[in-house]
Amino acid sequence: MLDFESIQRAATRLQDHVLRTPCVASHTLSDITGAKVFLKFENLQFTASFKERGACNKLAQLKPEERARGVIAMSAGNHAQGVAYHAQRLGIRAVIVMPRFTPGVKVERTRGFGAEIVLHGDTLDEARSHALALAEQQKLVFVHPYDDADIVAGQGTVALEMLDEVPNLDLLVVAVGGGGLIAGMATAAKALKPDIEIIGVQTTRFPGMVNAIKGTHHPQGASSIAEGIAVGTPGLLPQAIIRRLVSDLVLVDEGDIEQAIVLLLEVEKTLVEGAGAAALAALLRYPDLFRGKTVGLVLCGGNIDPLLLASIIERGMVRAGRLARLRVSARDVPGTLATITATVAAAGANINEVHHQRAFTTLAAQNVAIELVIQTRGPQHIQDVMQALGDAGLAAELLH
pLDDT at residue 77, as a whole number: 78
pLDDT at residue 361, as a whole number: 64
Residue 235 near residue 79 (C-beta atoms within 8 A): no
Tell me how far the alpha carbon of residue 340 is from its chain's centroid.
41
pLDDT at residue 360, as a whole number: 64
Q: Is residue 359 part of a domain?
A: yes
* DSSP structure string for 306-371: HHHHHHHHHHHHHHTTSEEEEEEEEE--TTHHHHHHHHHHHTT-EEEEEEEESSS--S-TTEEEEE
pLDDT at residue 142, as a whole number: 96
Which of 50-54, 123-127, 167-171 has the lowest average pLDDT? 123-127
Residue 321: CA atoms inside 13 Å, Cβ hemisphere, count?
10
pLDDT at residue 175, as a whole number: 98
Q: Is residue 329 part of a domain?
A: yes
Domain boundary among 257, 284, 316: 316
Q: Where are the beta strands (DSSP E) in the chain?
A: 23-25, 36-40, 71-74, 94-98, 116-119, 141-142, 171-175, 197-203, 248-252, 294-298, 323-331, 350-357, 367-375, 395-399
Residue 264 is classified by DSSP as I
Q: Are residues 260 and 169 in the same domain?
A: yes
Please give the mean pLDDT across all residues of the chain.
Answer: 94
What average pLDDT does the segment 42-68 reach? 96
- pLDDT range class, residue 283, cuts 50, 70, 90: very high
- Where in the sequence is the domain holding 344, given as residue range(s)? 321-399
Q: How many domains does the chain have?
A: 3
Q: What is the pLDDT of residues 306-317, one digit of tens each?
A: 899 999 999 999
Domain boundary among 316, 335, 356: 316
Q: Are residues 185 and 134 in the same domain?
A: no
Q: Are residues 210 and 355 in the same domain?
A: no
pLDDT at residue 363, as a whole number: 63
Q: What is the pLDDT of residues 239-256, one digit of tens each?
A: 999 999 999 999 999 999
Which of 115-124, 290-299, 357-366, 381-390 has the lowest average pLDDT? 357-366
Can you give the CATH number for the domain in which 354 is found?
3.30.70.260
pLDDT at residue 364, as a whole number: 63
- pTM, two decimals, is 0.89
Domain boundary among 142, 163, 180: 142
Q: What is the pLDDT of residues 62-83, one digit of tens each?
A: 999 999 999 999 987 789 999 9
Can you give the CATH number for the domain in which 258 is found?
3.40.50.1100
Q: Are residues 98 and 246 in the same domain?
A: no
Q: Is residue 147 part of a domain?
A: no
